[in-house]
């Protein structure tokens, strides 16, 4: 039986790579979380408040829906974003994306999601590469996100940009 996960992305260069390459990478030391993803699992792409380097303006949002298209494996060549190295990864098949910097504001759903037993401290559970959602939570996120999604081919170019030097 397949599972549903939030893939948590906290860097704009990484977001561009994930969306345009349709791949996900996981940092060294996160093997257990990475291996929780199985081929065929549903994933929601989540961008943190800090993803665009302006946490006072930006909100954490679910911005896309995809499925895991290959097993998670050690990458032949690690992927590097800034000072972080990502050693494992998988292919994704992105089926829909929200308009750039739009999407489902996750904090608005937190009181209704069982994966966050204490809504006051929900953001602590987001300090990881992925979070498995219980079936009821996955249904709620899917239902709320669906009207915001556009087909991948229509939205992907908004997410493609050249890295800005740090």
How many beta carbons lie within 10 A of that of residue 62, not counting itself? 23
Per-residue pLDDT, 119: 85
pLDDT one-digit tens code per residue, 58-85:
899 999 999 999 999 999 999 998 888 9
For the chain, which ranges sit under pLDDT 50? 164-166
Sign of the CA dihedral 120, 121, 127, 130? negative
Per the DSSP assignment, residues forming a β-bridge with 73 are: 89
Query: For residues 100 and 158, is the Cβ–Cβ distance under 8 A?
Result: yes
Per-residue pLDDT, 32: 73
Per-residue pLDDT, 166: 43
Per-residue pLDDT, 162: 66
According to the 3-state scheme, what is the secondary structure of the chain?
CCCEEEEEECCHHHHHHHHHHCEEEEECCCHHHHHCCCCCCEEEEEECCCCCCCCCCCCCEEEEEEEECCCCEEEEEEEEECCEEEEEEEEEEEEEECCCCCCEEHHHCHHHCCCCCCHHHHHHHHCCCEEEECHHHHHHHHHHHHHHCEEHHHHHHHHCCCCCCC
pLDDT one-digit tens code per residue, 131-148:
999 999 999 999 999 999
Per-residue pLDDT, 67: 98
Query: For residues 97 and 148, is the Cβ–Cβ distance under 8 A?
Result: no
Query: Percentage of residues in the chain with pLDDT exceeding 70?
Result: 95
Per-residue pLDDT, 165: 45
How many beta carbons lie within 10 A of that of residue 64, not counting itself? 30
């Amino acid at each position: 039986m397949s599972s549903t996960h939030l893939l948590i992305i906290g860097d704009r260069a990484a977001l561009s790579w994930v969306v345009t390459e349709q791949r996900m990478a996981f940092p060294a030391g996160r093997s257990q979380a990475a291996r929780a993803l199985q081929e065929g699992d549903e994933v929601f792409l989540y961008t943190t408040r800090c993803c665009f380097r302006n946490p006072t303006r930006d909100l954490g949002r679910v911005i896309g829906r995809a499925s895991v298209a290959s097993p998670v494996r050690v990458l032949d060549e690690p992927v590097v974003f800034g000072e972080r190295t990502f050693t494992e990864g998988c292919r994704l098949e992105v089926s829909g994306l929200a308009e750039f910097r739009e999407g489902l504001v996750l904090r608005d759903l937190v009181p209704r999601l069982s994966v966050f037993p204490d809504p006051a401290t929900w953001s602590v559970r987001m300090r990881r590469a992925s979070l498995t959602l219980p079936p009821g939570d996955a249904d709620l996120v899917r239902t709320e996100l669906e009207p915001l999604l556009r087909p991948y081919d229509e939205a992907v170019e908004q997410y493609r940009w050249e890295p800005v030097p740090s």
